Amino acid sequence: MLSESWTAPRCLSQERGRHLGFGFSSLKHEGSPSLWFVPHPGPAPALCHCGCASYKRVPGVCAAAAPQQFLCSQPSETSVLGARKFCFTSRTLMSAAEYVKSRLPEVLKQHLQDYEKDKENSVMSYQTILEQQILSIDREMLEKLTVSYDEAGTTCLIALLSDKELTVANVGDSRGVLCDKDGNAIPLSHDHKPYQLKERKRIKRAGGFISFNGSWRVQGILAMSRSLGDYPLKNLNVVIPDPDILTFDLDKLQPEFMILASDGLWDAFSNEEAVRFIKERLDEPHFGAKSIVLQSFYRGCPDNITVMVVKFRNSSKTEEQ
């Protein structure tokens, strides 16, 4: 598994108060589940290592999970962002991302290992483990954040590879897209946005509202309808932590690569554009991750940009995915 980080030249970091980075990963799957997370949130740069990229002004986290092993980098001045790959950024100093980074990797690792030991007799599944632990972490975090009046929040995008299946859990508006054998862009997740009919109806039933302030926002505040943290909106039950979880057959898709990224990328690129852009740059040292982050920046994206490219190795070349 390969990983590397990059930080934009200072002139770019200063423009619009942004900090840019990128990450990439090449995976050889050997039977045990491998994870990638892309959580991230609100306004500020964070530096991402180990397969992620982001800019924000808050501490973040970077962690990488290989089969049987979870590797976590130490926080730097701006902190680290996650991978498993997973990445978090945060809105405040205590930071929802920092809390999730310190808890969720180890919790998931333990539950997945226990599940693998007695898979045949277990009533659990990858989907139920992901859902239960995401919701559990959110409950824990809300207790901590409420006491300190910390309004931090984070999105969370998790990709779990096991055997010939890819399971993706999403909370918020980060997004995963896969390139199949024919070069098609296959959505791995669906954004949780307030303007979506399903989300809008749920918010209205809870007694909330959405309004337009640059983008559609819950209670005029949050531009996503689901997140981890964000206790003031959770107390109103207008924002929820429930993940959407989808499973994909890798034998059928025969993927070439997948992109896990925050909404900053998707503000500048459609799914199809991003897949075409990366496909033309897979021979670059960073699988095109650096190039697409910079291109999003040059297109005027005003939001944070966190991108991870995971390249699948071709089993026909004597290597398993």
Instruction: Count how many Cα atoms sit within 13 Å of the Cα of residue 53 in the half-sphere of its side chain.
Output: 38
User: From CA 222, how far away is CA 93, in angstroms rounded?
Assistant: 19
**192 within 8 A of 171, measured Cβ to Cβ:** yes
Question: In this predicted model, which residue has the larger pLDDT, 40 or 27?
Answer: 40
Structure-token match 């999730």, residue found: 100
Among 47-51, 171-175, 207-211, 309-313, the minimum mean pLDDT is found in 47-51
Question: How confident is the model over 45-50, as a mean pLDDT?
Answer: 26
Q: Is pLDDT above 60 for 23? A: no
Q: Is pLDDT above 70 for 40? A: no
Q: What's the pLDDT tens digit per position in 115-135?
A: 988 888 889 999 999 999 999
Which distant-in-sequence residues (6+ apart) come within 8 Å of 173 by Cβ?
155, 191, 192, 193, 223, 224, 262, 263, 266
Q: Per DSSP, what are the bridge partners of residue 158?
A: 37, 169
pLDDT at 193: 96
Instruction: Count how many Cα atoms sit within 13 Å of the Cα of residue 70 in the half-sphere of its side chain.
Output: 24
Q: Is pLDDT above 70 for 148? A: yes
Closest alpha carbon to 21 in 101, 67, 76: 76
Domain 5-192+242-315 adopts which CATH fold?
Phosphatase 2c; domain 1 (3.60.40)
Q: Is pLDDT above 80 for 268? A: yes
User: From CA 177, how far away is CA 146, in angstroms rounded?
Assistant: 34
Q: In degrees rounded to 5, what are phi and psi of residue 103?
A: -115, -50
What confidence category does residue 67 fall into, taking pLDDT thresholds of 50, 70 and 90?
Answer: very low
pLDDT at 43: 33
Instruction: Count how many Cα atoms sit within 13 Å of the Cα of residue 92 in the half-sphere of its side chain.
Output: 13
**84 within 8 A of 71, measured Cβ to Cβ:** no
Instruction: Count how many Cα atoms sit within 13 Å of the Cα of residue 265 in the half-sphere of its side chain.
Output: 35
Question: In this predicted model, which residue has the larger pLDDT, 116 or 65?
Answer: 116
Query: How much of the chain, in percent, has pLDDT values that exceed 70?
Result: 68
What confidence category does residue 62 fall into, taking pLDDT thresholds of 50, 70 and 90?
Answer: very low
pLDDT at 38: 52
pLDDT at 312: 84
Radius of gyration (C-alpha) of the chain in whole angstroms: 18
Question: Whole-number mean pLDDT of the chain?
Answer: 74
- What's the order of all strands across the beta sheet hosting 21-27? 5-7, 21-27, 307-312, 257-261, 175-179, 185-187
